[in-house]
Structure 1
Amino acid sequence: MGDQLATYRRKRDFTRTSEPAGAPPSPDGGARFVVQRHRASRLHYDLRFEIDGVLVSWAVPKGPTLDPGARRLAVHVEDHPIEYLHFEGVIPAGEYGGGDVIVWDTGTWEPVKTDDPGAAVRDGELHAEMHGQKLRGRLVLVRTGAAGDREDWMLLHKRDERAVDGWDPEDHPRSVLSGRTNDDVAADPDRRWRSDAPAADAAETLLPEPLPDAAVDELASLGKQGTWEVFGRRLKVTNLDKVLFPGDPPVTKRELLAYTARIAPVVTPYVRGRALNLHRYPDGVGGSGFWHKQRPDHAPDWLGAWDNPDADPGETTTYVVADEPAALVWAANFGALEWHPWTSRVEAPHEPTYALVDIDPGEHTTWEEVLALARLHRTALDHLGVTARAKVTGRRGVQIWIPVVAGYTFDDTRAWVERLSRTVGKVLPDLVSWKWEVKARRGRARLDYTQNAINKTLVAPYSPRPAAGAPVSVPIGWGELDDPDLRPDRWTIRSVLDRLAERGDPFQALLGAAQELPEIS
């Protein structure tokens, strides 16, 4: 391993920059590749193949392409550690390669015409069959010359069934992992590259600190009820062995509380300072659910509250406000299986901070049709230069959240989303109905701009949904709309935490990204 990374180490003064020196290669390493779009002193693409336990790398100024008529310069650079494989984030200014990085493409590859790709690289010609999300088919790298430490190679795509004339990587600028652009990463990275950390820990998550395992162990040790100290609050938790979600095995209240406590620090930025509508199922999803908005009199003093000055007689006067993670744990213990924050904040209840697109499938709408409508919205928002993110609902649909600056009314955001969605709807008119009544839609989808109204809410990111298996509404990267394995209820409270640890939180790009809404002609 030392020999393989000798050039990499020689180019770095680890007493000054301390970039990762690289962990020993795994004996069962695979044949993976990554292409990173890297804005350092100049924009370039880093093409890296997993070979013999390291990432053999080329810097490609104009990027790889599917165009068989294009010839690309590819400069052979030092091998990199495997830890770079899925790195996406910001290398601090002043560090070697300082700049923002996205995983432009990744997947597996197969060496062609050789059983020893390392030897093929040394001999100056590598043929690779690519199985990525963007790069498909045969790439060929051929060494064309060398001067000093620099080796110039030529990169081309064979004219095969995967070739596309005129294909330009700059037309496909988003990360296949998170759906973000380099601008998104630079503005609000999920991860930061720490040069002073060991290789395996170099990509430092910017997510909140997770709940200590000891707190979950304490919950597991309780009987059917007891007092649980979590996030510095003491909660009386009850009916811990009650089944709330059918499944194999079924999900108990104890498991729901453990999930809520683990996810609450991530959810809190999306509910803090907002009235919270709770969808309660005290007897589990097999029983009747109902909406609960009034903060109960028995709620603990520390639980946030907001008195609604506009409440008419018989309406909710005081709402729960989840300003801290423990508040969501309290809500789950209260039987709230779904959490619905208002679109506006309590200090300005008539001014939304998000414009919302709700792709609500009809009885006859297929999942592929939902995805087609979501992709059209993605294209339209990209064209408008609007920052937005999608999430699967955990049921059947997709929702899109668009952060907006202060000063808009709900009439403003509703009208803007209606113009956006009606423009999209014209592309696939047979899929969409604009009728309000479900029967009148004749099984077609509704692009529901009417959700942009005071006290009309969409389910919070990472909230459970009341269905068997405890599915979760999960934020996704834009690129995941093209993932053939994507499903609206793909993740549950048992699987979404692993996804979060691996992919980060795509919705984090919305925090601090408030923007004006452009005119739609």
Structure 2
Amino acid sequence: MAGDAAQLIVPGPHGERQVRVSSPTRVLWPEVGVTKLELAEYLVAVGPAFIEANGGRPVSLQRFPEGVDGEQFFSKNPPRGAPDWVRSVTVTYPSGRRHPQLVLDEPASAVWAVQMNTVVFHPWASRADETDNPDQLRIDLDPQPGTGFAEAVPVALALRELLAEVGLTAFAKSSGSRGIHVFAPIEPEHEFLDVRHAVIALGRELERRMPDLVTTNWWKEERGDRIFIDYNQANRDRTMAGAYSPRPLPQAPVSCPLTWDELPTTDPMAHTVRTVPRRLAEVGDPWSGMHDEPGRIEMLLEWWQRDLDDGLGELPFPPDFPKMPGEPMRVQPSRARHDDASD
């Protein structure tokens, strides 16, 4: 039975805060027995690195009231009862609707989110002071059936080299599952659609260089066993699990920042809620200072225009997005061929 409550002392930039954690013995990850209190203590242990990576941004909370095997929901609006030191910022969603979204500024706010049964933190690619213009170019390397983390590694390494060609510095992390996330800090000079186009141009160029390993095909039936460059993760209100965020998988893995040297040999499932605090203490944070020298995406936007001039147009958007200018039909290719044949 879950206990009544625990009180955690959480250091931060404004001094120590006391955060109450109810039901501390509730098991969130049944397979390994990680409790709600352990998760809160994990966020205390990695707090400074977690906030450097995810703080100061609009964030969505993926909440699991009964543990990772139970029901879940996303919380974008600030939950009721938020302390006065947890703030929000108004963001614009793809529909044009505007609404406040939570911002985490210190480790105590992340611990408070755990008190609200948050397991996964999904930060935006833009900051709270300029929500319309991303300051991160994010590339999601998504292994398809028959591939996994090992197959994504050579693609990530080639992507790093390609980003360097256009003057961008790449940082890698495990997704906490089978994939790899590659981030590059950029000046917040362009809105989300431009950044999406930069990611598409980057993906297409990588696909040209590694056609047997990489695909930008949106439709799963066309991807085969290649690594999918999920360009739609660069859209407004599309997020990935943040650095050091836990994932709702059996071993309580963490989306863990990695050095490029260790990427080829690491086991992503070895980086968990229970192992990452020691790793961080021993090897430091590979993403520390990520935004010290942001780059620009002008060359990638030139590649995008080049591809347009060569007849390569817009790619499909997610199904919940409004129809976008120049977008092809949102029809599965095999379905389109079937409909054409029927006609």
Shift, 1:310, TM fit: 6.3
- Is residue 255 of structure 1 aligned with residue 27 of structure 2? no
Deviation at 1:519, TM superposition (A): 1.7
Partner of 2:174: 392
Given candidates 2, 8, 20, the residue that maps to 1:236 is 20
Listed one character per residue, the Cα deviations across residues 360-381 of structure 1 (whole Å, up to 9, x for unaligned) are 1111223332112111112222
Partner residue in 2 for 1:245: 29
Q: Is the 8 A contact 2:150 2:264 kept in 1?
A: no
Query: 1:369 aligns to what?
Result: 151
Contact 1:472 1:492 in 2 (8 A): yes
* Residue identity in the other structure for 2:4: K
Do 2:54 and 2:104's aligned partners in 1 also have CA atoms closer than 8 Å?
yes
TM-score (norm 2): 0.80
Higher relative contact order (CA 8 A, sep 6+): 2
Which residue of structure 2 lines up, in the alignment, with residue 348 of structure 1? Answer: 130
Task: Tell me, yes or no, if the aligned pair for 2:93 and 2:237 is still in contact at 8 Å.
Answer: no
SS in 1 for 2:160: helix
Q: CA offsets, 1:312-355, max 9 Å, x none? A: 79x67221110111000011111110111111112221100001
1:519 equivalent in alignment to 2:265: no
8 A Cα contact 2:44 2:108, kept in partner: yes
* 1:427 corresponds to: 209
Deviation at 1:403, TM superposition (A): 0.5
SS in 1 for 2:48: helix
Aligned residue identity for 1:461? A
Q: Which whole-Å deviations, capped at 9, do the CAs of 1:444-471 have from their partners, x for residues lacking one? A: 3210122112111111111101011210
User: In 2 relative to 1, CA 385–306 (structure 1 residues): closer, same or farther, beyond 3 Å?
Assistant: closer
1:493 corresponding residue in structure 2 = 273
Tell me the SS of whatever aligns to 1:506.
coil
Instruction: Give the structure 2 partner of residue 292 of structure 1.
Output: 75
Unmatched segments (≥5 aa) in structure 1: 1-221
One-letter code of the match for 1:438?
A: K
Pairing partner for 2:64 from 277, 281, 285: 281
Which residue does 2:287 correspond to in 1?
Answer: 507
1:455 is aligned to 2:237:
yes
Cα displacement (A) at 1:481: 2.6
Q: Could you tell me how far 1:504 is from its partner in structure 2?
A: 1.0
Compared with structure 1, are the counterparts of its residues 404 and 244 closer, same or farther at alpha carbon in structure 2 (3 Å cutoff)?
A: same
Aligned counterparts of 1:451 and 1:366: Cα–Cα separation in 2:
19
* Identical-residue share of aligned pairs (%): 34
Equivalence for 1:381: 163
The residue that corresponds to 1:470 in the other structure is 252
Residue in structure 1 matched with residue 87 of structure 2 by the alignment: 304
SS of residue matched to 2:121: strand
Separation in 1, partners of 2:76, 2:31: 29
- More helix by proportion, 1 or 2? 2
Answering whether residue 119 of structure 2 is matched by residue 337 of structure 1, we say: yes
8 Å CA contact 2:207–2:216 kept in 1: the answer is no
CA distance in 2 between counterparts of 1:316 and 1:228 reads: 35
> CA contact under 8 A between 1:473 and 1:489: conserved in structure 2?
no
2:104 aligned residue: 322
Kindly state the Cα deviation for residue 384 of structure 1 after the two structures are TM-superposed.
3.4
1:468, 1:331 → 2: CA distance? 21
Partners of 1:388 and 1:510 within 8 A in 2: no
Report the Cα distance in structure 2 between the residues aligned to 1:369 and 1:514, rounded to whole angstroms. 29
What does 1:22-421 align with in structure 2 at a 5 Å threshold?
223-231=3-11, 232-248=16-32, 250-308=33-91, 317-421=99-203
Q: Which structure is higher in strand share?
A: 1
Task: Indicate the SS of the match to 2:212.
Answer: helix
> Between Structure 1 and Structure 2, whose CA radius of gyration is higher?
1
CA–CA separation in structure 2 for the residues paired with 1:386 and 1:504? 23
Q: Is the 8 A contact 1:226 1:238 kept in 2?
A: yes
Tell me, in whole angstroms, the C-alpha distance in 1 between the residues paired with 2:139 and 2:282: 27
State the TM-score, normalized to the length of structure 1. Answer: 0.54
Note closer, same or farther for the CA distance 1:282–1:494 as it changes in structure 2 (3 Å cut): same
For residues 270-307 of structure 1, give each alpha carbon's deviation from its aligned partner in whole angstroms, at most 9, with x where no partner exists: 22221111111111111122211111222122211113
Aligned-residue offset at 1:476:
0.9
CA contact (8 A) 1:378 1:478 kept: no
| Residue identity opposite 1:491 in structure 2 | H
C-alpha displacement at 1:492, in angstroms?
0.4
Residues 231-258 of structure 1: CA deviation (Å, up to 9, x unaligned): 322323111111101234x101111111
TM-superposed CA distance for 1:405, in Å, is: 0.9
Structure 2 CA distance for partners of 1:253 and 1:349, relative to 1, 3 Å: same
Name the SS for the 1:308 alignment partner: strand
RMSD between aligned residues: 2.2
Residue 85 of structure 2 aligns to which amino acid in structure 1? W
Alignment check: 8 A CA contact 1:398 1:488 kept: no
